[in-house]
Every structure is written in C-alpha cells, then in structure tokens.
Amino acid sequence: MSTLDGKVIGKCMPRHRHQEWLRFLRLIDRKMPKALDLHIICDNYQTHKHQAVREWLEKHPRFHIHFTPTGSSWLNMVERYFRDITENQIRRGVFKSIDDLERTILTAIAQHNDAPRPYIWTAEAKDILVKAIRARAASNGPRFSGTLH
C-alpha cells in the first residue's frame, strides 16, 4: 500500500514461502516508478528474511525493508487494510471455491484503487512509541532502545 496515494498492489498466491515473497517484490519493482526508493514494512516472518530474499535485496538497493516488532502488526498500515478487506468483503461472504475468494479480494483491491485514500496516522509519534514499548514489554522481548522526546 502506497503511503502517498493509498493505492494497493495485490496478488493472491497459494502459499507464503520466500518464492512467493520474491515474486511479489518483483511485481512491486515492475509497478513502481524506478526513481523511487521503496520502503517495505513487513512482519518478522522468516519468509521475508530468507537468504534468497536477502540476495535479491542486495541487487535491488532501492528496496528498504523494515520489520515490525513481534506483536505490533498495528504499526503496519497494510495490516489495517487487511482488516478492512476482511470486515467488508470476506467475513460475511460465501465462497464456493478458492478462485471465488481470490476474485472477491482482487475486485475489492481494484475498487479501492479506483478512489484510493492513504491511511493517515492520527496518533502522536510519542504515543505510538509508548505503545511499542508496552507491547515489547508484554511479550518479554528485548527492550526497546529508542528514546522518547
């Protein structure tokens, strides 16, 4: 999801392995203007960190990958989009096949892109950092090393 204009690049794939992640990164690479640096926010799923992915990223320096802390999916705006598409298109739907579900998802993305709106953060940065610190402490993970101003 582009934070500039709210447009979504979407693709349904049968699995979630590094091969599919690479296919999606290549799709982003083709669709986005070559002059742009691309900052991709994703979770810490091992697929996103696979050796083949790291090697591909080394050859594509305009891609900058940022990983959200475990348990902090709310930091990733595409997760909010997934929530919306689930609430508005999937949860009450009746799908007779995987193809039917995929058509619904891709239609929802196309409709969104007809009149895209970026998601806007309404919280102050310091409030977001407090939540991130609290989430990290709750998961007993490593301490956050940032400072609040």
Q: What is the residue extent of each domain of the chain?
A: 18-122
Partners of residue 66 on adjacent β-strands: 41
Which tokens hold the place of 129?
Answer: 């950092």
Contact (CB, 8 A) for 96 and 73: no
Show pLDDT as tens, one digit a residue, over the chain (149 residues). Answer: 776 788 888 898 989 999 999 999 999 999 999 999 999 888 888 889 999 999 999 999 999 998 887 777 666 777 888 888 899 888 888 899 999 999 999 999 999 999 988 777 777 778 877 877 887 777 655 554 444 44
Question: Can you give the pLDDT at residue 139?
Answer: 66
Residue (of 127, 89, 132) closest to 111 by Cα position: 89
Question: Can you give the pLDDT at residue 140?
Answer: 56
Q: How far apart are CA 8 and CA 2, in angstroms?
A: 6
Contact (CB, 8 A) for 62 and 30: no
Q: How far apart are CA 91 and CA 6, in angstroms?
A: 23
Q: Indicate the pTM of the whole model.
A: 0.73
Cα atoms found within 13 Å of the Cα of residue 108, Cβ hemisphere only: 20
Question: Can you give the pLDDT at residue 142?
Answer: 52
